[in-house]
Chains A and B, each alone.
Chain A
Amino acid sequence: MNRERTFATMDGNEAVARVAYKLSEVIAIYPITPSSAMGEWSDEWAAASQPNLWGTVPKVVEMQSEAGAAGAVHGALQAGSLTTTFTASQGLLLMIPNMYKIAGELTPTVFHVAARSLATQALSIFGDHSDVMATRATGWALLASASVQEAHDFALIAQAATLASRVPFLHFFDGFRTSHEINKIQLLDDADLKAMIDDELIAAHRVRALSPEHPVVRGTAHNPDTYFQARETVNPFYVACPGIVQQTMDKFAQITGRQYRLYEYYGAPDAERVIVLMGSGCETVQETVDALNARGERVGVLKVRLFHPFVAKSFIEAIPSTVKGIAVLDRTKEPGSIGEPLYMNCVTAIHEERFCCPSVIGGRYGLSSKEFTPAMVKAVFDNLAQEQPKNHFTVGIHDDVSGSSLDYDPAFSIEPDDTVRAVFYGLGSDGTVGANKNSIKIIGENTPNYAQGYFVIDSKKSGSMTVSHLRFGPNPIRAPYLIDKANFVACHQPGFLERYDVLQEAAPEGVFLLNSTYDQIDVWDHMPQRVQEQLISKRLRFFVIDASKVARASGMSGRINTVMQVCFFAISGVLPRSEAIAAIKASIEKTYAKKGEEVIAMNLKAVDNALDNLYEVRVPQQVTSSQSLLSPVPEYAPAFVRDVLGKMIARQGDLLPVSAIPIDGTYPSGTSQYEKRNLAEEIPVWDPEICIQCGKCAFVCPHAVIRIKAVEPAALVDVPASFKTVPARDIEWKDMQYTIQVSPEDCTGCGICVDVCPAKNKLALNLKALNLKPQAPIREQERANWEYFLRLPETDRGNIKVSSIRQQQVQQPLFEFSGACSGCGETPYIKLITQLFGDHTIIANATGCSSIYGGNLPTTPYTHNAQGRGPAWANSLFEDNAEFGFGIRVALDKQAEEARELVQLLAEDIGAELVNALLSADQRDEAGIYVQRERVALLKEKLAQLDTPEARRLTSFADTLVKRDVWIVGGDGWAYDIGFGGLDHVLASGRNVNVLVLDTEVYSNTGGQMSKSTPRGAVAKYAAGGKATAKKDLGLIAMSYGNVYVARVAMGARDEQTLRAFLEAEAYDGPSLIIAYSHCIAHGINMQTALKNHKAAVDSGQWLLYRYNPERAEQGENPLALDSRTPKLPLKDYLHMENRFRMLEMSKPEAAAVLFEEAQQDVNTRWALYEYLASRTISNGKEH
């Protein structure tokens, strides 16, 4: 068609969602990385009343899980609507049961999947085909797209083909590599969509729908006589399907000019070696094929688009007859299989079609977004050229265990000369990625150039490093791998220079831009040796700007994005300077038009200021620095931390061989202490003269960097000069010395401790007992103090009154220095568990923020005490955490039961006194547990003397005679939504488990999607128009069982109530549930003063504090103790403190007025209900 085509830059998720939205009437969504954005786009477009292809706004519904979404899709399809969903990984697994149903009923639909790894020995959010390959048996067509353009196109082709074939389609593309890569694509418009979608086929779909007007029965139960035959009825549809897909692709080609084939060969017509694969890797192989053929080789690539239904004939026909060797690459692993799925299909096809006689080998690549580069492609071709090529190989790793891996030459590169390649190092918080996305838009949409962007962001939630990889050039960019020969390198954070080799990717004669507080004269003397060397040896041009200063002067403190973006355009030469600056300014006006003139003015000012402050540095001829890169972990770290985790920290994890990695996903605890991140510009400094020793600072510290000890004066020997102690104020600690110490290199500088500190300096009321001061000048001194502090003995736990925060907070946290956000509202609760009960606790952790900051490599925060005891932690899944914890509890109970039986059985050998003591031990407090541990040690000694099977058996679980707590921890997405069914069952079980719900009122980990915990009126993703319904009252539901301990807490409102609830929950011999108000960056608040939000939430009645203790009911007392006072703060005053509510007022004031009014009514009715419940006279059911 000769119509003018629109080009745009976007990522794969948006490219797919645009088409899927247009072609759907019902969209059921649920967040899961990396597919969440497709649902977000759909919800936002629907909230903005954007119509689909037929002029109506699709209904977008969020479900409680992917299983729920699949069920809703199935239902909507049965009712005759065009329906879709988006998912990945575990989400896709949860859809499998319905996928069988949908396919069995020959129902047309498309699921769009951003293909992702599955959780096995570890979870990974990154891309491969493991999830898609797990659906092979469902009867769905599996259609693979390999690039952002293809993902856009195949979203349409899949929908057209499913309607025509009645076979449901799973359209997949590589998670992150395609879903998150930004590329310039030609957009499909409504006319294209209309031309491709046949309304008669839609009508036929409707005719098949359930309707009482022409009723049918579907979903019957068959018996052995007919089930088999029924399964075979569908065969003709699968036979027809590939032809329909090809016809659809041909029609698409007529309309758009882009021709696709089921099995698409590219390369030498007389190729001898061919690689077969699916997904984004096809692009890399295609480019490499060009490069190798240009050197005289004869190679090719066969891109598999339609994996199922697989057509052997078409597949074989696509392969040149000259081929001698075929390597089939699978981006998945099926341990124990004879080969991975694509390989198996290929082998079978060759066999069935009697294709003579290439050798076929299979290999694995790219698992969990492992890089797949031209160098690796070349290695595969080289392998094929061997007389005896390695089969079942891997490429991209070093497998020194099984010897599967192919060697490759990392220096091999095929990057074309006409492409500008730029790499930017930034911090998550500095806006680098956002600015780069904007640059891609400017170039991609304002010039004929093509543009590509891919962003590597590490998985720490605070202080995360971002590396942006941008390519620009005159030809379409097919390079789905990271840049290793950059013409332009920018380092937006000068601190990276001493930790990472940031110029490693710089190509000779390139440009290096550094944000530095040093000017063009002084900066050289502050460069590490490695940087100086490369500046000289690679003959790089070197520019410097003090971007923070420029940003500050422009009113944009902390956001250096615009400044650095201007510098990039000014010196990279990607566009003429004046043209680029004009484009940036135009883009600023457009981007921020919705956000106000003030923001536009600030950014425009930053543009001009940037140009005035950018300087070129004259690079000397000689290296003058002797400063080497900092070691990622200290020398004294354990070997595993140094040799394995340290490599990951240093961004060298790709180089670790297979043998370095634990075989079963088991890692040592207590490793976060070795990763000193030095994130805080300012850290709290203790003023002992002012301090009232209340312990609140340590209580609220999200990263456990504020520690307290009370020690005997005699312990204070060789005290560093600046180490501070004062006499302890507590009567019980008379004559002891009290100290508070901050870990300067682990603090993230959130300042919550300073905000909560109640002690003020009487002479200057702006000062407290903790005050933030710049970290750099005191780093060394405080590091020494911290190390000294750690060496001081822990306060005797028997001498700590745990019911009072001021004493309890000297307990050692066994959860420290996590990767959680600075100021996190969840981690203090977890830390509290580990302080109180950590040495006898097992934690079952639902997937989510708490599993990521709790268990994401390189280093993890759960640790152990000096005796080696501490929380044992595991994450199973998102949906099953309550059941997982329950299983642990049941097993422990069973083991303890059998241990007791065996103790009795062996009573004569053990001795009556010890037997009685073991079996009647009172372990309600620390002292009781301590004594029981001594007894168990004694028991083991005695058992060691006995050489009987019973004695050996008892030895293996004698430890379960010591009290074990099971804590089941997760967020509201788990507890209120996906895991609620299981949680409900576990609470009803009566088992002694403790459940902690870290309630942020959204799915925080995936970016703030609505859960059933989201309060009315809050804006969240998937609730772009403000949540219209009230928050689910999980506590009330749990209370209805009568035998569940339930507490709602908010540490910033009443910390003593929080502590009390944790103690009571743990002490209660039955299920307990604590719902903890957890402030979150997804609320849009000032994190430093977040505890004021707790207080306002409680004072307004939005968040009620209470403790429901069934033990009180047994005494005939009312079990519900309402710990909140009558709400006195108008709810609006609280809502106005948080952007999640404010932004509704600023965008939809009329809707906000109604929802806020209703929210106030929620508060009023809830208070009335709870007041009534708490004041009832209770019968314990015993009297009549």
Chain B
Amino acid sequence: MELNTTYLGLQLRSPLVASASPLSERIDNIKRLEDAGAGAIVLYSLFEEQLRQEEQSLYHHLSANTDSHVEATSYFPKPWEFRVNSQGYLEHIRKAKSAVDLPIIASLNGTTPGNWVKFAKEIEQAGADALELNLYSLPTDIETPGAQIEQNDIDIVSAVCAAIQIPVAVKLSPFFSNMANMAKRFDTAGARGLVLFNRFYQPDIDLDTLEVRPNVLLSTPQAMRLPLRWIAILYGHVSLDFAATSGVHSGSDAMKLILAGANVTMMASALLKQGIDYVRTVERELLSWMERYEYESVAQVRGALSQIHCADPSAFERAQYMRALTNYPMGIAP
């Protein structure tokens, strides 16, 4: 059976891809992911905002209290080179590339327009096989209309795609008025794939300390329903590849998403919980399902149950309430 697949023009040995997570911060993990059979690895994100904060914090701590006391003109050693810019990340790409043979997809979350392009070029030069643009922000400005936010996103993608040669995927949140239209616009802007969907930090309230504590919730298998729907709907309507992320916890989850039209399925939560070797388990489940249903290759599976290929295309568009009312053929008298 052929597990291999293509994604963003890259040939992958398997549709099981490690998505951006702390796991990829260490080169030995990247090697273990390759050994476990991952098809590709998306590195943790280069967060411009974090870089900026780190720069500012470093600047603050190195300059605070200097020349304030006659005996101590400073409190830290002076001539230091700091990897406060993208250097550390780029170095990590280079190390990952030299450590493994499988494709390395870098991930970028920018904040300022110029830096999206600048970092993208640096990432390309560092040797990444592809770039995932992580459009990861929560618009909260009450004055900014949705259309403007959408246009900003499109502009970023256009600019990056025009600037670099390696393929670009766009990782999105599902919170657009019309996801399908956005997908088409990203396609036009030059993206080669969509990664559906991003997971935000969510605020929580600690009832003991009465404090708000934002943190990231690891995904549960239920979360895969959202990408499942949108991949199925978009499949065949745009020339984009699809990576399904969120809620891929088992071979059957992965299979469902591929049936819906995903080129690859990405895992983070499951690997963080179960360990890197869990990739092997998922692959075994995948193969066993294909064997049972006599599929020869992933290519055969892909999109077989997308909206355009399924018996009831409207199933992907229905909401639960409608589904209950129309759970028998319409127009046929009882």
Write the residues of chain A forming the contact surface with B, with a CB cutoff of 8 angstroms: 33-34, 37, 40, 43-44, 47-48, 125, 427-429, 431-434, 437, 455, 457-461, 464, 466, 559, 592, 594-599, 760, 765, 821, 852, 1004-1008, 1019-1021, 1024, 1081-1082, 1084-1085, 1139-1140, 1142-1143, 1146-1147, 1149
**Contact flags B35-72 to A (C-beta < 8 A → 1, else 0):** 00000000000000001101111110111111111111
Name the residue on A nearest B53 (C-beta).
A598
**B210 at the A/B interface (Cβ < 8 Å)?**
yes
**B175 at the A/B interface (Cβ < 8 Å)?**
no
By the criterion CB–CB under 8 Å, are A1146 and B82 in contact?
Answer: yes
**Contact flags B66-86 to A (C-beta < 8 A → 1, else 0):** 111111111111111111110
By the criterion CB–CB under 8 Å, are A48 and B67 in contact?
Answer: no
Choose among A429, A466, A1147 the residue that contacts B64 (Cβ–Cβ < 8 A): A429
By the criterion CB–CB under 8 Å, are B65 and A821 in contact?
Answer: yes
Name the residue on B nearest A760 (C-beta).
B210
Bound together, the chains give a CA A433 to CA B66 distance in angstroms of: 9
By the criterion CB–CB under 8 Å, are B59 and A595 in contact?
Answer: yes
A1026 → chain B, closest Cβ, in Å?
A: 10
B-side contacts of A125, CB under 8 Å: 70-71
Contacts A1143-B58, A1147-B83 given; indicate if A429 touches B65 (C-beta within 8 A).
yes
Name the residue on A nearest B92 (C-beta).
A1149
Contacts A457-B69, A1007-B72, A1149-B83 given; indicate if A599 touches B59 (C-beta within 8 A).
yes
Contacts A594-B80, A1007-B72, A1149-B83 given; indicate if A599 touches B55 (C-beta within 8 A).
yes
By the criterion CB–CB under 8 Å, are B85 and A596 in contact?
Answer: yes
By the criterion CB–CB under 8 Å, are A457 and B78 in contact?
Answer: no
Name the residue on A nearest B54 (C-beta).
A1146
Bound together, the chains give a CA A457 to CA B72 distance in angstroms of: 10
By the criterion CB–CB under 8 Å, are B67 and A1007 in contact?
Answer: no
B-side contacts of A596, CB under 8 Å: 51, 54-55, 58-59, 82, 84-85
Name the residue on A nearest B71 (C-beta).
A33
Choose among B64, B81, B85 the residue that contacts A597 (Cβ–Cβ < 8 A): B85
**B88 at the A/B interface (Cβ < 8 Å)?**
yes
What are the 3 closest A-B residue pairs judged by CB atoms, nearest first? A428-B68, A1007-B72, A596-B55
Bound together, the chains give a CA A270 to CA B63 distance in angstroms of: 54
By the criterion CB–CB under 8 Å, are A1007 and B73 in contact?
Answer: yes
Bound together, the chains give a CA A1140 to CA B79 distance in angstroms of: 15
Name the residue on B nearest A1140 (C-beta).
B76
Choose among B70, B74, B83 the residue that contacts A1146 (Cβ–Cβ < 8 A): B83
Q: Known contacts A433-B73, A765-B210; can you find 12 more A-B pairs with CB under 8 A?
A: A34-B71, A125-B70, A428-B68, A460-B69, A594-B81, A599-B56, A1005-B72, A1019-B76, A1021-B77, A1081-B75, A1084-B75, A1146-B83
Choose among A433, A457, A597, A1084 the residue that contacts B55 (Cβ–Cβ < 8 A): A597
Bound together, the chains give a CA A1129 to CA B211 distance in angstroms of: 19
Contacts A598-B52, A1146-B58 given; indicate if A1024 touches B68 (C-beta within 8 A).
no
Bound together, the chains give a CA A461 to CA B69 distance in angstroms of: 6
Could you write out 25 A-B pairs with CB less than 8 Å apart?
A48-B79, A428-B68, A429-B68, A434-B63, A434-B66, A457-B67, A457-B69, A457-B70, A461-B69, A464-B69, A464-B70, A592-B59, A596-B55, A597-B55, A598-B51, A598-B59, A765-B211, A852-B71, A1005-B72, A1008-B72, A1008-B76, A1139-B58, A1142-B58, A1146-B54, A1147-B83
A1176 → chain B, closest Cβ, in Å?
A: 35
Bound together, the chains give a CA A410 to CA B61 distance in angstroms of: 42
By the criterion CB–CB under 8 Å, are A1019 and B77 in contact?
Answer: yes
Name the residue on B nearest A34 (C-beta).
B71
Bound together, the chains give a CA A432 to CA B78 distance in angstroms of: 18
A942 → chain B, closest Cβ, in Å?
A: 52
A-side contacts of B79, CB under 8 Å: 44, 48, 594
Bound together, the chains give a CA A427 to CA B64 distance in angstroms of: 12
By the criterion CB–CB under 8 Å, are A595 and B84 in contact?
Answer: yes
Bound together, the chains give a CA A1004 to CA B67 distance in angstroms of: 14
A-side contacts of B71, CB under 8 Å: 33-34, 125, 459, 852, 1005-1007
Bound together, the chains give a CA A872 to CA B263 distance in angstroms of: 79
Contacts A594-B81, A1081-B75 given; indicate if A466 touches B67 (C-beta within 8 A).
yes
Bound together, the chains give a CA A1019 to CA B75 distance in angstroms of: 10
Bound together, the chains give a CA A1020 to CA B70 distance in angstroms of: 19
Bound together, the chains give a CA A594 to CA B62 distance in angstroms of: 12
B-side contacts of A40, CB under 8 Å: 77-78
Bound together, the chains give a CA A44 to CA B76 distance in angstroms of: 10
Bound together, the chains give a CA A1146 to CA B210 distance in angstroms of: 34
By the criterion CB–CB under 8 Å, are B82 and A455 in contact?
Answer: no
A-side contacts of B82, CB under 8 Å: 594-596, 1143, 1146-1147
Name the residue on A nearest B74 (C-beta).
A1007
A-side contacts of B66, CB under 8 Å: 431, 433-434
A-side contacts of B80, CB under 8 Å: 594, 1024, 1143, 1147
Bound together, the chains give a CA A685 to CA B216 distance in angstroms of: 36
Bound together, the chains give a CA A979 to CA B79 distance in angstroms of: 31
A-side contacts of B59, CB under 8 Å: 592, 595-596, 598-599
B48 → chain A, closest Cβ, in Å?
A: 10
A-side contacts of B57, CB under 8 Å: 1139, 1142
B91 → chain A, closest Cβ, in Å?
A: 8
B68 → chain A, closest Cβ, in Å?
A: 3
By the criterion CB–CB under 8 Å, are A1149 and B88 in contact?
Answer: yes
Bound together, the chains give a CA A172 to CA B58 distance in angstroms of: 36
By the criterion CB–CB under 8 Å, are B67 and A1084 in contact?
Answer: no
A-side contacts of B65, CB under 8 Å: 428-429, 821, 1081
Bound together, the chains give a CA A274 to CA B69 distance in angstroms of: 39
A636 → chain B, closest Cβ, in Å?
A: 31
B-side contacts of A43, CB under 8 Å: 77
A1047 → chain B, closest Cβ, in Å?
A: 28
Bound together, the chains give a CA A597 to CA B67 distance in angstroms of: 24
B142 → chain A, closest Cβ, in Å?
A: 21
Name the residue on A nearest B81 (C-beta).
A594
Bound together, the chains give a CA A48 to CA B72 distance in angstroms of: 22
Choose among B52, B67, B68 the residue that contacts A461 (Cβ–Cβ < 8 A): B68
Choose among A33, A47, A595, A1006 the residue that contacts B62 (Cβ–Cβ < 8 A): A595
Bound together, the chains give a CA A432 to CA B66 distance in angstroms of: 10
Choose among B52, B54, B56, B76 the residue that contacts A1084 (Cβ–Cβ < 8 A): B76
Choose among B77, B83, B85, B88 the residue that contacts A1024 (Cβ–Cβ < 8 A): B77
Bound together, the chains give a CA A852 to CA B71 distance in angstroms of: 10
Bound together, the chains give a CA A466 to CA B77 distance in angstroms of: 22
Bound together, the chains give a CA A47 to CA B62 distance in angstroms of: 18
Bound together, the chains give a CA A429 to CA B60 distance in angstroms of: 11
By the criterion CB–CB under 8 Å, are A464 and B68 in contact?
Answer: yes
By the criterion CB–CB under 8 Å, are B67 and A433 in contact?
Answer: yes
Name the residue on B nearest A595 (C-beta).
B59
Bound together, the chains give a CA A559 to CA B84 distance in angstroms of: 21
A-side contacts of B85, CB under 8 Å: 596-597
By the criterion CB–CB under 8 Å, are A1007 and B70 in contact?
Answer: no
B-side contacts of A427, CB under 8 Å: 68
A-side contacts of B83, CB under 8 Å: 1146-1147, 1149
B-side contacts of A459, CB under 8 Å: 69-71
B-side contacts of A461, CB under 8 Å: 68-69
Bound together, the chains give a CA A492 to CA B294 distance in angstroms of: 80
B114 → chain A, closest Cβ, in Å?
A: 10
Bound together, the chains give a CA A434 to CA B65 distance in angstroms of: 11
By the criterion CB–CB under 8 Å, are A598 and B55 in contact?
Answer: yes
Name the residue on B nearest A461 (C-beta).
B69
Bound together, the chains give a CA A1147 to CA B80 distance in angstroms of: 7
By the criterion CB–CB under 8 Å, are A559 and B63 in contact?
Answer: yes
By the criterion CB–CB under 8 Å, are A458 and B61 in contact?
Answer: no
A-side contacts of B70, CB under 8 Å: 33, 125, 457-459, 464
Chain B, range 135-161, C-beta contacts under 8 Å to A: none
Bound together, the chains give a CA A1140 to CA B80 distance in angstroms of: 13
B104 → chain A, closest Cβ, in Å?
A: 19
B-side contacts of A1143, CB under 8 Å: 58, 61-62, 76, 80, 82
Name the residue on A nearest B55 (C-beta).
A596
A-side contacts of B61, CB under 8 Å: 1084-1085, 1139, 1143
Bound together, the chains give a CA A1004 to CA B59 distance in angstroms of: 20
